[in-house]
A and B are shown apart, each in its own frame.
Chain A
Amino acid sequence: MKLFKIRGGVHPDDYKALTAKHAIETLPLPDLLHIPLQQHIGSPAAPVVRRGEQVLKGQLLAHSQGMISAPVHAPTSGRVMGVGNYPAHHASGLSVPTITLKPDGKDQWVNNTAIPIDPFKLPPEEIATRVAAAGIVGMGGATFPAAVKLNLRTRYTLETLVINGAECEPFLTCDDRLMQEQAADVIDGIRIMAHALGVEKIIIGIENNKPDAQSAMETEAAVYPDICIAHLPTRYPMGSEKHLVQTLTGLETPARSLTADIGVVVHNVATALAVHDALRHGRPLLSRVVTVSGGAIRAPKNLRVLIGTPVDDLLSYCGGFTSTPARLISGGPMMGQRLPGTRVPIIKGSSGILALTRKEIMNDAVMPCIRCASCVRACPCGLVPLEMANHARVGDLEGAASFGLMDCIACGSCAYVCPSNIPLVQYFNYAKGELTARQRTEHKQAETRRLAELRSERMEKQKRAKREALAKRRQAAKAQQQKKVAEAEV
C-alpha cells in the first residue's frame, strides 16, 4: 500500500536481536503480587476487597470510578495480605495505594457467569462495556482505558482502525513475538474492535525490521479482505500514534486534538489480544508480555508476566545482572522511565524492563548548545527543541510554550542526536509539569476566592438575620411595655 512521508525521526541501533528469537515464556507464579489501584490514566480504582479475604483468579479487586478509569482483577487465586501503600512503577519512587496478594498456588478461576457468545452478534456498546469491565487499557504504554476509545464512535465519524505494531523503540520485542505466536487471536481481537467502532477499514502497521511478524499476520489476515498490513519503514518514532496515522493515511492530526478528529482510532496489538481474551473467553486483563533485555541482563527474554509481579522476579528468572546496570528503565530506552528500584511491580503498561550498561546509555558530559540545529532536523513534530529548552532553562516557560512545547510528544529524538548531550526531554518534561502545576495553583486560587466570597455572603446574611430578629424582639418588647402601661393607666 502507498505510504506517506513524515518529517524528522532518527535511526537508533535497535538491539532487538537480543530477544527477537526468544519465544514468550511464562514466568512461574511469584511469592507475592503487588497490584496498584491506578495503572491507567484517569481516576484510581476503588478497592472492594479487605485484608485477609480469599480471592479467586479473575475476581474483581477494585472497581473503576468515574468516566475515565479501569478496574483491576486478581491475577491468580490467593489471600489479600493488605491494602496499603507500596512503591509505584514510576520514576518518582512515590508510594501508591496497592493491593498485596499472596498466591495460594492453585490458580483457581472465579466462576464465570458471562457465557462467551459470538462478539459479532453483540451490539457495539456491549463490547465496549465488556472491555471496560475487563480492565483493558492501552498496552503500548499510554495506559488509556481502551473502552473509552472504543466508544468514540458516538462523538466522531470514524473510518479507519489503525493497529500499532510498529514497536519502534529499540530493545522491545514483546509485540513482535505476540504477532508471531498468537497472530490468529490478535487478528480476532482487531476484528472485534473494528466491529465495536463500526469501521470498515483496518490497517495494521508493522515495521520492516519484523519480517516474521509481518508474514505471520499476513497469513492470518489473508481471509479478511478489509484488513491491510502495511510494511512500515524502520524509523523512530514510527509508533507514535499521530505519526503512524500520517504515514498510513497521509493525514496530519491537528495540534492538540485526537486522531479521531480525522476519523482514525489507533490501538496496540497487545490491546487487541486482551480484547480477544475478554470477549471470547471472558477473561479480564491479568497478565502481559514484558521484554527483559539490555546489556547488563545475563539471559534476555520475553516473558508473560502476571500484573503485580515484582520486577525482581523477572530479573532473577533472566539470570540476574552480568554487571551492575548503569540505568534501569521501564519501557523502551527512548521514551521509557527510569525505575527507582527493583521492588516495584509490573503494571498493565510495562512493555519492557531494560538494564543498560554504561556503553548503551551514552551518558557523556553535558556541554553548551552550539546551535547546530540537529534537533530541529530530528524533531518529528516540526518544533525547535533548542529554543524550547533555552527558554525553559532560563525559566521563561510561556516562551517555551510559544515555541510549541505542548505539541512535543517527548519522543527523545532531539536528545538522541544532540552532540552536546543536553537533556532536552527533561527540560520539556520539567516545563510541562511546571506549567500544569501553575494552572493547578491558579485553579485552586479561583476556587478559594469563590469559597471565601460564598462564606462572607453567608456571614453577612446571618448577621442581617440576627439584627432583624433583634429589632423584631425589641419592637415586640416595646409593644408589650406600651400595652402594660396602657393597662396600668386603665
Chain B
Amino acid sequence: MIAALLSLMTLGLFLGGLLGLAARFFKVEGNPLETEIEAMFPGSQCGQCGFPGCTPAAAAVVSGTAPVTLCPPGGRGLAEALADKLGVSADLSGMEDKPPAYAHVREGLCIGYTKCFKRCPTDAIIGGPKQIHAVFRDACTGCEKCYDVCPTECIEMRPVEPTLQTWYWPKPLEVA
C-alpha cells in the first residue's frame, strides 16, 4: 500500500515537474504567425485599415476576419506577400481604389496649431507653435491622421503623381 502510494506520488511529482519546466522553456507568446505577419506590416500604426494599430490588424488577418488587402500603405506588394504567406488567394481588384496620396499644408490657412504633427506617426510634418507647418513628402505615408484634426482645414490629401523616374510602360493589352 505504502509502496504504491510512494511510487504514484514520485511519478506524479516527476511528471508535474516536467510539465512545469516545459511550460517555462517552451512558452509560446501569442500566435507566432501574428508576430510574423505584424513584422510584414509598415508598422506606422496609422489605422487606415480600420483597426487601432498593426498588431490588431495582424490578428484579424490571421484569424481570417479581415482580407489581406487591408493595408493601403502596404499596397499590392504587401497584399501579395500576405496571401503568399497565409496560403489564401488575394482579390487584388479592389486594391487600386485608393491611389497613394500625401498630405499638403496650404500655407495661407495654416495657423501653427501643432496638432497635426503631434499625431503624425512618421514625424513627416515639420513646424512649431504659431509657425507655418510643412510636410516632408518622402516621409509621408498618406495615412490622413493629420487631415481631420486641423481646425482651419488647411491640410489636403494630394495624389502622388508619377514622375519621369517612377513612370513605366503599362502592361500590353491582352490578346484573345
Contacts and interface: CB of A to CB of B under 8 A. Distances in A.
Contact of A438 (B77, B169, B171): B77
Q: Which of A96, A436, A438, A453 has most B Cβ within 10 Å?
A: A438
A436 B87 CA distance: 25
7 contacts: A366-B175, A429-B169, A430-B168, A437-B168, A438-B77, A448-B139, A455-B121
A452 B44 contact: yes
Interface of A: 38, 88, 90-92, 94, 96, 366-368, 392-393, 423, 426-427, 429-430, 432-434, 436-438, 440-442, 444-445, 447-449, 451-455
B71 to A, nearest CB: 10
B171 A448 contact: no
A96 B164 contact: yes
A452 B172 contact: no
Interface string B144-175: 00000000000000000111101111111011
A427 B172 contact: yes
B164 A442 contact: no
A94 B75 contact: no
Interface of B: 42-45, 73-78, 121-124, 138-139, 141, 161-164, 166-172, 174-175
Contacts of A367: 175
Give 7 nearest A-B pairs by CB, closest first. A433-B168, A449-B43, A451-B122, A429-B169, A92-B167, A452-B44, A366-B175
B42 A92 contact: no
A453 B43 contact: yes
Contact of A445 (B74, B162, B175): B74
A436 B167 contact: no
Contacts, number: 86
B171 A430 contact: yes
A452 B43 contact: yes
A451 B122 CA distance: 5
The SS class assigned to the B binding surface is: loop
The SS class assigned to the A binding surface is: helix
A452 B78 contact: no
A448 B73 contact: yes
A448 B167 contact: no
A440 B166 contact: yes
Q: Which of A90, A393, A429, A441 has most B Cβ within 10 Å?
A: A441
Given A441-B75, A447-B139, A452-B44, A430 B169 contact: yes
Contacts of A392: 171
Given A38-B164, A448-B44, A455 B175 contact: no
Given A94-B167, A452-B45, 4 more contacts: A426-B169, A449-B42, A451-B139, A455-B122
Contacts of B44: 448-449, 451-452
Contacts of B170: 430
B172 A437 contact: no
A445 B42 contact: yes
A88 B45 contact: no
Contacts of A444: 141
Nearest to B136: A451
Given A441-B77, A448-B141, A451-B122, A426 B172 contact: yes
B57 to A, nearest CB: 14
Given A94-B162, A94-B164, A447-B139, A423 B172 contact: yes
Contacts of A447: 138-139
A422 to B, nearest CB: 8
A28 to B, nearest CB: 30
